[in-house]
């Protein structure tokens, strides 16, 4: 009798590897209330993170520790200690600390490098000035109220490279003009890409924001397929330079500039105020007086992402915020139960182009289409609430 050949067991097809995405938004200096411009960037980033992680492995890296060494932050802390001594900041409001920051910028005094060096050394070991810690603590409450992912506002998250190591990496890549041996500054050199020399460290050793970003992101590149840089449009020149450096290390780099929110037709820096009635705490308090938490979270995203869009043409409008809150209330009441037949991943993937990340504007705007399907509760809860 002839033996029958054994049938090979059918093995399941190997699952496709999920792409790895690093989401790296610009941070906000903890020296004032969160303005409408800040809220726009934070909500934009949050929707991108929560939507994209349904389709890929996403790391959200936003370290306050990394950017504390900038002169903007250390200079403010030195000003506070020099002008206000041992003031108890634990009971201060954001507005009070913001007013002190405005006074610091108005003073126009640039503290000498030796005055800032003890602060810089302390930051490397996890120290945060009490005023900065107070602001971050208050922001944590706003993050919770808005349903924002907290990437570690109060955590000590040092960058992977020291400043000297970062400069060494840049020299190895041929992207650095280092004049420290003759008492000069350090420049990032991306002139081969048609960009100007950019000073990243002053002659007296002070790093700027771009130097800190390089310390943070250069050692992380090996672990990701795509790196997404989200930032204020006014910082586009620096992020073009940053993107060229990171691309030399392997991953695809996506730049996503987001416009600021004008107040009464003017785009103003928070150092000049203008946020007194429109900051995150005031907006949340006003919205919560009329609506529950889910409506507030969805309504704020409808306004700051879908209504304002990626540009900065529209001034902040409290009446439109209220309109978006009413629209959110209707959307939540009508949310499809059971959820639509299409898988959540399929609905999210429609809002991508040649990139892995989900476009927050396209996705959020889709909720407002009058002829489109009613959004599923799964989408709202996973991404917007």
Q: What does the alpha-carbon distance between residue 101 and residue 273 come to, in Å, rounded to a whole number?
A: 9
216 and 280 assigned to the same domain: no
The last residue of one of the domains, among 234, 258, 282, is 258
Neighbours of 264 (CB within 10 A): 8
Q: What does the alpha-carbon distance between residue 310 and residue 259 come to, in Å, rounded to a whole number?
A: 6
228 and 318 assigned to the same domain: no
Is 5 part of a structural domain of the chain?
Answer: no
What single-letter DSSP state applies at residue 172?
H
The CATH number given to whatever domain includes residue 234 is: 3.40.50.620
Q: Which residues does the chain have with pLDDT short of 50?
A: 1-2, 4
The last residue of one of the domains, among 189, 223, 258, is 258
Task: State whether the Cα torsion 134-140-141-146 is positive or negative.
Answer: positive
Neighbours of 266 (CB within 10 A): 9
- Closest listed residue to residue 355, CA positions, set 259, 256, 257: 256
Burial class (CB in 10 A: 0-12, 13-18, 19+), 97: buried
Is 264 part of a structural domain of the chain?
Answer: no
Structure confidence by residue, pLDDT tens digits, 286-329: 999 999 999 999 999 999 999 999 999 999 999 999 999 999 99
298 and 231 assigned to the same domain: no
Structure confidence by residue, pLDDT tens digits, 22-39: 999 999 999 999 999 999
- Closest listed residue to residue 156, CA positions, set 69, 58, 66: 66
The last residue of one of the domains, among 228, 258, 288, is 258
183 and 207 assigned to the same domain: yes
29 and 173 assigned to the same domain: yes
286 and 240 assigned to the same domain: no
What separation in angstroms does the CA of 269 have from each of 26, 31, 131, 145, 261?
A: 15, 12, 20, 25, 10
165 and 275 assigned to the same domain: no
What is the span of the domain harbouring residue 65?
20-258
- Residue 4 has a pLDDT of 47
* 68 Cβ contact partners less than 8 Å away, ≥ 6 residues apart: 74, 123, 128, 132
Is 145 part of a structural domain of the chain?
Answer: yes
Neighbours of 374 (CB within 10 A): 12
Is 35 part of a structural domain of the chain?
Answer: yes
Q: What does the alpha-carbon distance between residue 177 and residue 186 come to, in Å, rounded to a whole number?
A: 6
247 and 324 assigned to the same domain: no
Cβ(263)–Cβ(274) under 8 Å? yes
94 and 215 assigned to the same domain: yes
Is 1 part of a structural domain of the chain?
Answer: no
297 and 201 assigned to the same domain: no
Is 276 part of a structural domain of the chain?
Answer: yes
Is 7 part of a structural domain of the chain?
Answer: no
Q: What does the alpha-carbon distance between residue 74 and residue 208 come to, in Å, rounded to a whole number?
A: 11
- Residue 185 has a pLDDT of 97
38 and 147 assigned to the same domain: yes
254 and 275 assigned to the same domain: no
Cβ(357)–Cβ(21) under 8 Å? yes
Q: What is the domain count for the chain?
A: 2
């Amino acid at each position: 009798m002839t033996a029958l050949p054994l049938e090979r067991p059918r093995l399941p097809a190997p699952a496709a590897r999920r792409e790895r995405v690093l989401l790296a938004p610009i941070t906000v200096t903890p020296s004032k209330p969160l303005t409408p411009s800040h809220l726009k960037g934070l909500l934009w980033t949050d929707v991108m993170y929560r939507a994209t992680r349904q389709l890929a492995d996403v790391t959200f890296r936003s370290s306050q520790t990394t950017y504390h060494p900038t002169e903007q932050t250390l200079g403010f802390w030195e000003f506070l200690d020099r002008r206000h001594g041992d003031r108890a900041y634990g009971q201060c409001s954001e507005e009070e600390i913001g007013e002190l920051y405005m006074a610091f910028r108005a003073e126009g005094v640039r503290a000498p490098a030796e005055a800032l060096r003890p602060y810089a050394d302390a930051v490397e070991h996890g120290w945060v000035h009490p005023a900065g810690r107070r602001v971050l603590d208050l922001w944590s409450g706003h993050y919770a109220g808005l349903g924002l992912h907290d990437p570690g506002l109060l955590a000590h998250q040092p960058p992977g490279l020291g400043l000297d190591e970062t400069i060494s990496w840049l020299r190895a890549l041929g992207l650095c003009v280092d004049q420290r041996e003759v008492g000069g500054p350090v420049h990032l050199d991306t002139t081969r890409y048609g960009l100007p020399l950019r000073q990243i460290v002053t002659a007296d050793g002070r790093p700027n924001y771009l130097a800190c970003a390089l310390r943070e992101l250069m050692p992380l590149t090996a672990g990701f397929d795509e790196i997404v840089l989200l930032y204020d449009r006014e910082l586009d020149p620096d992020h073009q330079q940053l993107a060229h450096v990171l691309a030399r290390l392997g991953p695809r780099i996506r730049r996503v500039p987001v416009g600021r929110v004008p107040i009464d037709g003017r785009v103003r820096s928070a150092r000049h105020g203008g946020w007194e009635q429109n900051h995150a705490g005031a907006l949340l308090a006003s919205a919560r007086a009329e609506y529950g938490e889910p409506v507030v979270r969805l309504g704020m995203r409808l306004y700051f992402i879908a209504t304002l869009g990626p540009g900065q043409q529209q001034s902040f409008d409290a009446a439109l915020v209220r309109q978006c809150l009413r629209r959110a209330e209707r959307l939540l009441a009508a949310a499809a139960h059971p959820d639509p037949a299409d898988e959540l991943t399929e609905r999210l993937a429609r809002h991508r182009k040649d990139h892995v990340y989900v476009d927050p504007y396209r996705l959020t705007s889709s909720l407002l289409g009058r002829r489109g399907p009613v959004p599923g509760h799964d989408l709202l809860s996973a991404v917007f609430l």
